[in-house]
Structure 1
Amino acid sequence: MTTAASRSWIKPAAAAAVVLALAGVGYATFSSKETAPDVTFISIAGDKISTQGLRGKVVMVNFWATSCTTCVHEMPAMVDTYNKFKGQGLEFVAVAMQYDPPNYVVNFTETRKLPFIVALDSGGDIAKSFGDVTLTPTTFVIGKDGAILKRYVGEPDFAQLHTLLQKAL
C-alpha cells in the first residue's frame, strides 16, 4: 500500500526532469552555430574559390553593389580591415550582387585598387545560398571551422568587427 507521503517525491522529481530537458534544448539551440554554405565564388579574374577551400581560415564575405551608397562608403574601411588582418590569415571575398553590371564591378575594383578577391554572383545563387541576401551591404564573418560567427546587415561597427576578428584569428 502506497501512501501520499511515499509519493511526495514524484512531482519535484518530474519537475526537475522537465527543467533539465528544457535547459538541454535551450543549450542546444543557442550553442549551435550556422555553418557557411558550400559555394564556389568566381572572381573577376576568373579564379574559382570555394568555401570548402577556405576552411581553416577566418573569412569575411561581403555582399555589395556599386549602386549601393553605403557599400561604396564602407569599402575604404573594408580595405583597411583586410589590410590590418590579412597578415594574420584573414581572407576576404567581396561578392557583387546579381544586378550589378560586371563592367561596373571591374571598373570599381580597378579604380579603388581593391586588394581582396572580388567575385560576381551573376546568377544570384551565392546570395541565395547565404540565406537569400537581398540587402546590401551584408557581411558575414566565418570562423576557421566554417561556422558563421556574425552577420552584419548595413555598415558594421568596425571597432566591434576588429575585436571579433582578433579573437577569431
Structure 2
Amino acid sequence: MKSLFNSPRKLLFPLLLVLLLGFLAYTLASKPTAPNISFTTLDGKTSSMQDLRGKVVLVNFWATDCPGCIAEMPALIQTWHQYHERGFEVVAIAMPYDPIDQVKNYTAKNSLPFKVTHDDSGDMSMQFNEVRVTPTTFVLDKDGKIIRKAIGELDFKSLHELLDQQLGTKG
C-alpha cells in the first residue's frame, strides 16, 4: 500500500505535462472567428460577415494613399475574377482617414468588382484586432474563422494555393 501513496506524486509531473501540451495544442488549433461586422458597400447594399458564411472571404483593409494597397489591387481584382464563381468573396474596407470621395473615385476608376466599404467610424478596423497598418488582410474560411492574416502586400501565389485548398482545385 505504501507504493500506492507514492505513485500519485510520481504521476503528477507527467499528468501536468500532458495537460499543458493538450491545452497548447487546443489553443494553437482553435482559430479565432472573425467579428460579425455589418457594413454598407459604396453602392448602398447592406451586408455582414454572417451573410458571407459558406464562402471563403478575404477582408482587405486598404487606403487610396497606400502604395502597397494600390500595387496589389490589380492582382486582387484578378484573384476575385479567378475564384469568385467557386465561392470566394472580397470585402475591401477603406480606412477611416481615407476621404470617402477618393475611395469612391478609385473604386469607379478601377472598376473594383468586389464589395467595397468605408470604415468611416473606425469601428470595423477596431473589431478586426485594431488594424492600423495598410494593407492588412484576413482570409476567412467558410465558417468565418480567420485562417490567415497578412500585413503588407499579399503573396498571391500563396493566397492562390490557400484558395485552391479551401475551395477545391479547379476541375
Instruction: Report if TM-score (shorter chain) is over 0.5.
Output: yes
Q: Structure 1's 104 and 15: CA in aligned 2 closer, same or farther, altered over 3 A?
A: same
CA-CA distance at 1:129 after TM superposition: 0.8
**Secondary structure at the residue paired with 1:140?**
strand
Matching residue of 1:150: 148
Match of 1:68 in 2: 66
1:55 and 2:53 are equivalent in the alignment: yes
Residue 165 in 1 paired to residue 139 in 2? Answer: no
SS of 1:24's partner is: helix
Q: Encode CA deviations 1:89-135: one digit per residue, 9 max, x unaligned.
A: 10111111111111111111111111111111111111111011110
Per-residue CA deviations over 1:119-158 (Å, capped at 9, x if unaligned) read 1111111111101111000011011111001011001111
Corresponding residue for 2:13? 15
- Unaligned regions of 5+ residues in structure 2, if any? none
For 2:100, the equivalent position in structure 1 comes to: 102
Q: Secondary structure, in 3 states, of the residue corresponding to 1:9?
A: helix
Tell me the secondary structure at the aligned position of residue 144 of structure 1.
Answer: coil
What's the offset of the Cα at 1:83? 1.0
Identity of aligned residues (%): 43
Secondary structure, aligned partner of 1:95 = strand
Q: Aligned partners of 1:89 and 1:56: how far apart in 2?
A: 8
Q: Give the paired residue count.
A: 167
In structure 1, which of residues 80, 83, 91 is the aligned counterpart of residue 81 of structure 2? 83
TM-score, structure 1 as length reference: 0.93
Q: Supply the distance in 1 between the matched residues of 2:5 and 2:102 (Cα, whole angstroms).
A: 76
CA distance in 2, matches of 1:160, 1:147: 18
Question: What is the CA–CA distance in structure 2 between the aligned matches of 1:68 and 1:15, rounded to whole Å?
Answer: 53
CA RMSD of aligned residues (A): 1.3
